[in-house]
Homo-oligomer: A and B are copies of this chain.
Amino acid sequence: MRKHVLLYGLLGGLLIAGLKLIEYRWLVVEHSVEIYGGLVAAVFAGLGIWLGLRLTRQAETVVVREVVVAGPVTFVRDQRKLESLGITPRELEILELIAEGLSNKEIAARVYVSENTVKTHSSRVFLKLGARRRTQAVQLGKELRLIP
């Protein structure tokens, strides 16, 4: 900004000097005042426009438009809810496998325990979730952010 003012003043001074020269050398005629005024007006108007453009060049209005992008929603387990419900890690594991659509028998084979054990875990987790069916348990588990 200060630089602009200095430049402005310098150019003005040079112009005045130039005009003085012109006035004393070959434009000392009648109506020279009008010509002089017109010249000054034109030059300074141009200078003003240039200066105005200069001043507002960096005055860019940055508009940040937020765009919702379907990003991979990172799943964060709600540990507090998990603890408040008293769901053990094993029970949660069984619930996850239930959510994958596996039967008790398949789950038993997956985690190397008997089907009866899987039934016990699932029964407990249903009790803690207040679910009557495994589909309901899955729905509740997802709602409560216990499983992805």
B48 and A52: CB pair below 8 A? yes
Q: Is A67 an interface residue (CB 8 A)?
A: yes
Q: How large is the interface on A (under 10, 10 to 19, 20 to 34, 35 or more residues)?
A: 35 or more
Q: A19 contacts which chain B residues (CB < 8 A)? A: 37
User: Given the complex of chains A and B, what is the CA–CA distance between A73 and B70 in angstroms?
Assistant: 7
User: Given the complex of chains A and B, what is the CA–CA distance between A64 and B62 in angstroms?
Assistant: 7
Q: Is A99 an interface residue (CB 8 A)?
A: yes
As for how many copies of this chain the complex holds, the number is 2
Q: A100 contacts which chain B residues (CB < 8 A)? A: 135, 139
* A33-64 contacts to B (CB < 8 Å): 33, 36-37, 40-53, 55-57, 59-64
Q: A66 contacts which chain B residues (CB < 8 A)? A: 65, 67, 69
Q: A64 contacts which chain B residues (CB < 8 A)? A: 63-65, 67
Q: Is A79 an interface residue (CB 8 A)?
A: no
B62 and A65: CB pair below 8 A? yes
Q: Is A89 an interface residue (CB 8 A)?
A: no
- 7 new A-B pairs (CB below 8 Å) besides A50-B52, A66-B67, A101-B135? A37-B37, A61-B62, A63-B63, A100-B135, A102-B135, A103-B132, A103-B133
A interface vs B, CB < 8 Å?
8, 12, 16, 19, 33, 36-37, 40-53, 55-57, 59-71, 73, 98-103, 131-140
